[in-house]
Amino acid sequence: MVDESAVLAALGYAPDSPVTWEPEGETPGSAVRLIVAGESPFEAIVRESSEPEAARNHAAVFEALVNAEYAYAPKLLGFAGEATIELAVPGITAMQLVPPAGAAEAAMLALAAWHNLPLREGLDWGRSPADLHPPAEVPLHRLGFSAVERDPALEPLLQAQDLLVESPFGFAHRNAIAANVFLAPGRAWLVDYGLAGFGPQYFDVAAFLLTSGIEAAGRRALAASYGRHRGIPAEQASADVDLFGLLWGIGWLLELPRRLITSLGDDPVTDSLKLAATRIDRGMRQPAGDSPIARAIRATLWPANG
């Protein structure tokens, strides 16, 4: 629960100020929207995860982003204990409606700028790529694939895992799904840094593209745009984001039951998770790059789409 008096004090308001508190969700740790009425109205988001480590990580990463003058985060207004108070941005997420003109392109710029930051803040900086993502057989049976489908996919999936640990690792958001990327015409903001730290940066791009409901041709073009911002050839960026998107998407779908249990009682979050799962499943079936390994994985798991 938000400490309302501490938030108001951090913002310089009296305890009896005319404010409204609107939870953004119903599960513990959901963000809360603070609406201040009066002559100078404004809205702020108070964010504190129910997991203490995630709350501390979010606050530390947010402060590091401010110090690095990162332009694609909301304005940080202050802290109330472990909670951050951020100015509400005038945007929406792609989980709510089709991204406005230029917004998805702005999200690619925001992710590229994040990945270019010379920061070592957040989780897992003492680990190697292989520690974070050790090669292992993917339990495809849990997603309903038969042995006939699973067995031919094992080798290309292991090849993809080998390539993943050689891909760009560094400062990553690690939860850049559409719900955590606010969009406006030509603008984007990344929010919620509870999981941020060392990780595979292509996963961030794939997470946004697969959960935003963007069709394959659009995802290919946007991945190429990301590559240009990072100095990576367009075709290589598209192929890599597409390939590693299969690994990210399968991993996310395997975690879906746990995510649904965690969100019990919060119908909007549950609906968002189900929508994301549908989009991820559909997106993984559609080639958005020219990786031969991705082609081999699709040919075994979804032969009807070949």
pLDDT of residue 39: 79
Q: Which tokens belong to 168? A: 């760009």
Partner residues linked to 36 by β-bridges: 19, 42
Indicate if the pLDDT at residue 70 is higher than 60. Answer: yes
pLDDT, mean of residues 51-72: 97
pLDDT of residue 32: 96
Q: Which of 94-103, 106-115, 175-184, 243-252 has the lowest mean pLDDT?
A: 94-103
Amino acid at 170: G
In which element (H, E) is residue 44 found?
strand 42-47
Alpha helix locations (H) across the chain? 4-11, 52-67, 103-115, 129-132, 147-164, 201-211, 216-230, 234-262, 267-285, 292-301
Distance between CA atoms of 138 and 22, rounded to whole angstroms? 41
Q: Enter the pTM of the model.
A: 0.96
Sequence-distant (≥ 6) Cβ neighbours of residue 57 within 8 angstroms: 122, 123, 193, 194, 195, 196, 197
pLDDT of residue 152: 96
b/e map of 234-264 (b: 16 or more CB within 10 Å)? eeebbbbbbbbbbbbbbebbeebeebeebbe
Distance between CA atoms of 115 and 167, rounded to whole angstroms? 13
pLDDT of residue 74: 98
pLDDT of residue 2: 84
pLDDT tens digits, one per residue of 118-166? 999 999 999 999 999 999 999 999 999 999 999 999 999 999 999 999 9
Indicate if the pLDDT at residue 306 is higher than 70. Answer: no
Sequence-distant (≥ 6) Cβ neighbours of residue 151 within 8 angstroms: none
pLDDT of residue 163: 98
pLDDT tens digits, one per residue of 4-60? 999 999 999 999 888 999 999 999 889 999 998 877 889 999 999 999 999 999 999
pLDDT band of 117, cuts 50, 70, 90:
very high
pLDDT of residue 97: 85
Q: Which tokens belong to 258? A: 């746990």
Q: Which of 92-106, 115-129, 167-181 has the lowest mean pLDDT?
A: 92-106
pLDDT, mean of residues 181-190: 96
Q: What is the mean pLDDT of the chain?
A: 95
pLDDT band of 61, cuts 50, 70, 90:
very high
Q: Which domains occur in the chain, in start order?
A: 4-87 (3.30.200), 92-305 (3.90.1200.10)
pLDDT, mean of residues 262-271: 93
> Do the beta carbons of residue 45 and residue 74 sit within 8 Å?
yes
Q: Taken in order 276, 1, 23, 79, is the CA torsion positive or negative?
A: negative
pLDDT, mean of residues 262-280: 95
Q: Which tokens belong to 271? A: 């609906």
> Do the beta carbons of residue 54 and residue 45 sit within 8 Å?
no
